[in-house]
Amino acid sequence: MPIDKIFKDDASEEKGERARMASFIGAMAVADLVKSTLGPKGMDKILQSTGRGHSVTVTNDGATILKSLHIDNPAAKVLVDISKVQDDEVGDGTTSVVVLAGELLREAEKLVTSKIHPMTIIAGYRMAAECARDALLKRVMDNKENAEKFRSDLMKIAMTTLCSKILSQDKEHFAEMAVDAIFRLKGSTNLESIQIIKKPGGSLRDSFLDEGFILDKKIGVGQPKRIENAEILVANTAMDTDKVKIYGARVRVDSMTKVAEIEGAEKEKMKDKVNKILAHGINCFVNRQLIYNFPEELFADAGVLAIEHADFEGIERLGLVTGGEIASTFDNPESVKLGHCKLIEEIMIGEDKLIHFSGVAMGQACSIVLRGASHHVLDEAERSLHDALCVLSQTVNDSRVLLGGGWPEMVMAKEVDELARKTAGKKSHAIEAFSRALVAIPTTIADNAGLDSAELVAQLRAEHHNEGCNAGIDVISGAVGDMEERGIYEAFKVKQAVLLSATEAAEMILRVDEIITCAPRRREDRM
């Protein structure tokens, strides 16, 4: 019996050289796809869905681009995954990690072609990654003790992160906003209490940071527009007139007076419920579901502000921020935890009215209101700001910083090159290849800015042979510049994550020597 009949008809397998080529090509194609978005002069991509509504996203965030692609190549999926993890873990460096992994595989492909075993390459890459990390550790700066310097470090990191995004024109304004928001968190990495509200209209420069919490709702008719020292009950309960809630129930009556009695009973039931709610001693009631006119009237008569249809994310966050819990039964008021805030008032942003809660129990809460020309601009601005906030919140905990602009890659490449010279055997080829892959990042930054990358990288390499050099690529002037003077800083945590994730992903793809594709088992096979 021939061996190829082991698999069922619709299965296929690729072995050895072919499998490895398929993995390499897939991974390099993905890296080339996002390569042009790297750096301050990186370009954006338009992602258009073919589904209903043909939604359009304009972005240059590596993770967002890759998340939206449906990829068939298994090795390419590994790169999409590392970019997602990078986004969740540290927020920035999502493009760099894919570009670096792609370059490592490109170099590995050349080595495999010249008959070096993948395991030898992996061993070399491991040594090189360890050496590169140590090189960075020697050069990190940490100003945690000096509050003034630390804040300026954070400002510079935020500006560097925003440089490659849509917010680069107003980066000082947004960096200031992001740093203020992060300092309010007092070292926590929970970004839940920073709420971002997007309102089309105005320009990006009109965006602002506001202490407290803003709920995107209007205050109902005849209700107080301003409440001081508010006691807030946050609820998720049905406040439409209680209908007979039995599925398919029918009530037969023989006269209109009976109908009126049923309606009267429903009204009474609702009145009892409202009285139970008022018994909590509140002056603001926020509900996730609808509130019909009758209960709204009762609340207005009692001088209680009732807000309906607060979306779930809004209501969860409101509970968190005001220190209240979401209630759905109101029989024993003593067990319900109410939220508190000093002032509730209505504010106007652009054309819209919103409700502003200030002086909330959770002091670190704040809202960032983004203004911009269109929804696409606002979505991209939110993604950019979210990246900056993630990086800053991580840096507050791990306060080590590095210079940016291709400086870390050159420092690592120099050390890795030295290691290659000292190492005997075939591993040294892999270590050398690793250093070439690292240099690809400054090369790409220069290429994307339309500069002569070969010239610039050669200059950089020469500069880095001097001890304690701070040279990197200054894209704005198009030359090699001092990164410390230019204020281009990056978080150590981001660089470390990029280095380690890319190496591990490349290693995983290198180990592949067979790809088996087969259909999932059908139902009848499982019996």
- Which positions are catalytic? 61, 94-95, 387
What's the CA gap between 81 and 101, in Å, rounded?
12
Query: Whose CA is closest to 31, among 85, 99, 106, 81?
Result: 99
Distant-in-sequence, close-in-space partners of 86: CB < 8 Å, separation ≥ 6: 63, 93, 94, 97, 497, 498, 501
What's the CA gap between 284 and 219, in Å, rounded?
11
Location of structure tokens 């043909």: 54
Q: DSSP letter at 5?
A: G
What's the CA gap between 489 and 483, in Å, rounded?
8
Residue 180: exposure state from Cβ atoms within 10 A (0-12, 13-18, ≥19): middle
Q: What angle do helix axes 492-510 and 94-113 make, rounded to 10 degrees?
A: 40
Query: Whose CA is closest to 78, among 430, 501, 434?
Result: 501
**Strands in 100-207 per DSSP E:** 141-142, 194-200
Report the residue count for the chain.
527
**Strands in 270-338 per DSSP E:** 284-287, 305-307, 326-327
Distance of alpha carbon 82 from its chain centroid, rounded? 14
Query: Whose CA is closest to 409, among 490, 477, 478?
Result: 490
Q: Which residues of 58-78 are buried (b: 16+ CB within 10 A; e: fewer)?
A: ebbbbbbbbeeeeeebbbbbb
What's the CA gap between 356 and 375, in Å, rounded?
23
Q: Which residues pair with 491 in a beta bridge?
A: 401
Within a 10 A sphere around the Cβ of 355, how many other Cβ atoms?
22
